[in-house]
Structure 1
Amino acid sequence: MPFEEKFHLRIPGPTPVPPRVQHAMNRPMIGHRSAECSRLVRQCSQRLQPVFGTRENVLIITGSGTSALEAAVSNTVAPGEEVVVAVTGAFGDRFAKIAGRFGAQVHRLDIPWGEACSPDALKSFLASRPRVKAVFLTHCETSTGVLNPVQDLATIIKEHTDALVIVDGVSSVGGVACEMDAWGIDIFVTGSQKALMLPPGLAFVAVSPRAWGVIRQTEGPRFYLDLQTYHEDLERETTPFTPGIAHLFGLEAVLDMIEEEGLENIFARHRLMMEMTRAGVRALGLPLLTEDAVASPTVTAVRGTENIDASALQKELRRIGAVVASGQQHLKGKIFRIGHMGYCDPLDVLTLLSALETALHRLGGTVRWGAAVGAAEEVWNRV
């Protein structure tokens, strides 16, 4: 393929990094205990607060999103304590596995993949488990493109238990409205490489005052991911270990971009891209995994057809120059996933849908040229 270095990255993470952010990350290195680094840590933590919907300081960890998931478990749950994990896909399953590895007694509320966890299902599940210490939820389940109603789920948890509400926001924070304080979420975590438009390498954790009380009383092994240490060091405008300084430079540029566009405009752009993508996919006769009511604004999962499987479409798209993600676990080969978050706009969606038309045609599908693009354009022009 000519221009092998040129392709359209439309996976649900890592997502494209804006040139402005790349340029910021190329700044000369500074000392990690310097006044300049302290300024970066302090200001980035404070400027992340509106993105999470919290007045609490946001802790910055040099690590993947999974490091934040592990920190959320290891700092709040001791071996033998009971937790509930709502599993709506691969990343809910990951939360359950992490909790099990740390010795928790894990109660899995397994939901069919492609569906959201309903408040009624969670209420019923919690009724027979009064000793649960924490409930783990996934906001956007990246493996299926489902957006779970965490606000409603958090309300159910608060009404019926004393459990902490701990939420994986790895593929939602920065692309979807998140109101940690108003929704009663105790720990909210995310990673840098999704809607926040950075390379992989940073994780972010916001913690409620109630959760800090639990963390201080929870015994268990932790060192690098000891949240109390990060909290104490943030008070001194630093981090307990050497941070990813280039990532902090990039984060500062990302926060500039977020503030310039405005969070409400960002959320509207992501909803628009979701609606355009879904309209275009439907126009090609391809089935969607999720119903509209639970669809995520950041990622869309598409099934293959009886004659053309999802993996074949994914491979053909890659040959054209459009990179989408495969399904995970039992959905591998049955779906492909389109990321539309972060440094992405309606023109990018049209490009991907045009490539999808071509891929479907090359694999023997019946295609009315321009159907997907036209359907998406109709959505775009209603705005």
Structure 2
Amino acid sequence: MSDPFLLTPGPLTTSATVKQAMLRDWGSRDGAFIAMNARVRERLAGLAGAGETHVAVPLQGSGTFAVEAMIGTLVPRSGKLLVLVNGAYGHRMARMAAVMGRAVAILEVPEDRPVDPAALDRALAADTALSHVAVVHCETTSGILNPVAEVAGIVAAHGRALLIDSMSAFGALPVDARTVPFTALAASSNKCLEGVPGMGFVIVRRDALAAAGGNAHSLSLDLHDQARGFEANAQWRFTPPTHVLAAFSQALDEHAAEGGVEGRGARYAGNCRILVEGMRTLGFQTLLPDALQAPIIVTFRMPRDPAFAFQAFYDRLRERGFVIYPGKLTVADSFRIGCIGRLGLAEMRAALDAVRATLAEMGVSSGAP
């Protein structure tokens, strides 16, 4: 069987040319590899409109490694982090801060609602000990898009530092440091930029990074030390993910050729529209209204038809060449289908055909919850 299409939040379906970029071995001290690393770092900062004020610091590991490095390096031991929570990834950031011994508070809303800027404003006014705020750009627990620009304005007005987990948004949904002030933003190679897993990165203000020496709770997750290594000799402190970086460099070329953030975001929006319209014709109901839905991953409520069993649905779709994702909600029984990766309208229509055929095979008359 050929590789299935991954309708998941990542890892994702990648292009043949991204895969082919991994067929060469690279020496970590080789001049060509060092130059490629420098180009990738420069391009990442540029994608965030941050080339003048921020620096991109790549890090071995998944995106979670990058988020933990961001919190551990930038929130000092005397600081206090406020995490805006409306899903599992906000809770994960709060847990990270607690594990590393940082003071942390959470401001939580249900998973099907965006974070609340007005409540944030009140919280920052009430607690002057809060030094940093963390928010998830697109919370893939539900697929909801959080109002990051509004959050950034409030945090800046209070003179605090903003940390953004943009893991599932960066590269497809705009975030520009010139209009959305942030101290740091974390993302990874294998989401909307359509590389392969194995490398995270943090785009961080130069002044904040310079002031962060000695903060980190971990040697390997110390962004300040990692950045100093790049500045000293343009090399990684520890063994770099050479093949992952080569694939990522190719993925960035393809991202630019597609029209950058605007072009990539437009394709994903088209995928999302086709998916939602098609699933609704089969009776399925989305968790979120269209106004709150990011074009990244869509949460559907489970059908009430007694013939529907998610594991059988999942397995039969996999046999037809499409991998979806289980739900992660507490507010509703659900499953998720992603819109990102090297997929277009033809693949989304084929996925809908597979859903239709699977429901018929299972004897499910409607996807209605």
TM-score by length of 2: 0.92
Contact 2:81 2:133 in 1 (8 A): yes
* Cα displacement string for residues 37-71 of structure 1 (whole angstroms, at most 9, x for unaligned residues): 21011111112223233213311111110110110
1:266 aligns with 2:264: yes
Distance 1:81 1:193 in 2: 31
Taking structure 1 as reference, are residues 261 and 270 closer, same or farther at Cα in structure 2, changes over 3 Å only? same
Contact 1:115 1:146 in 2 (8 A): yes
- 2:27 corresponds in structure 1 to 31
The partner residue of 1:191 within 176, 184, 188 is 188
Structure 1 stretches of 5 or more lacking a match? 369-383
> How far apart are the structure 2 equivalents of 1:62 and 1:53?
24
For 1:121 and 1:312, how far apart are their aligned partners in 2? 42
How far did residue 109 of structure 1 move? 1.1
Equivalent runs, 1:368-379 vs 2, <5 Å: none
**Conservation of the 8 A alpha-carbon contact between 1:76 and 1:215:** yes
Q: What letter matches 1:155 in structure 2? A: G
Equivalents in 1 of 2:152, 2:225: separation in Å?
A: 27
8 Å CA contact retained: 1:52, 1:180: yes
Tell me what 2:325 maps to: 325
Question: What is the total number of aligned residue pairs between the two structures?
Answer: 361
Q: Distance in 1 between matches of 2:153 and 2:135?
A: 13
Matched, 1:140 2:138: yes
Structure 2 distance, partners of 1:303, 1:140, is 19
- CA distance in structure 2 between the partners assigned to 1:345 and 1:258 by the alignment: 14
Once structures 1 and 2 are overlaid, which stretch shifts more, 205-214 or 239-248? Answer: 205-214
Which residue identity is paired with 2:45? Q
Note if contact 1:174-1:342 (Cα within 8 Å) is conserved in structure 2: no
Q: Which residue of the partner structure matches residue 228 of structure 2?
A: 232
CA RMSD of aligned residues (A): 2.0
| Pair 309,119 (structure 1): closer, same or farther in 2 beyond 3 Å | farther
Quick check: 2:86–2:111 contact (8 Å CA) kept in 1? yes
In the alignment, what sits opposite 1:257?
Answer: 254
1:331 to partner: Cα distance: 6.3
Rounded to whole Å, the distance in 1 between the matches of 2:11 and 2:47 is 19
Secondary structure of residue in 2 paired with 1:180: coil
Q: After the TM superposition, which residues 1-383 of structure 1 pair with which residues of structure 2 at under 5 Å, given as runs?
A: 3=1, 5-27=2-24, 29-55=25-51, 56-79=54-77, 81-159=79-157, 161-216=158-213, 219-235=215-231, 236-263=233-260, 264-307=262-305, 308=308, 310-328=310-328, 330=330, 334-366=333-365
User: Structure 1 residues 74-83 or 161-170, which shifts more?
Assistant: 74-83
TM-score, with normalisation over the residues of structure 1? 0.89
Q: Distance in 2 between matches of 1:320 and 1:24?
A: 28
Percent identity reads 28
3-state SS of paired residue (1:188): strand
Q: Return the alpha-carbon distance in structure 2 between the equivalents of residues 91 and 180 of structure 1.
A: 22
What does residue 381 of structure 1 align with?
none
User: In 1, are the aligned partners of 2:56 and 2:202 still within 8 Å (CA)?
Assistant: yes
Alignment-mate amino acid for residue 179 of structure 1: D
User: Structure 2: how far apart are the matches of 1:144 and 1:101?
Assistant: 25
Separation in 1 of the partners of 2:196 and 2:331?
26
Aligned-pair distance for 1:145?
Answer: 0.5
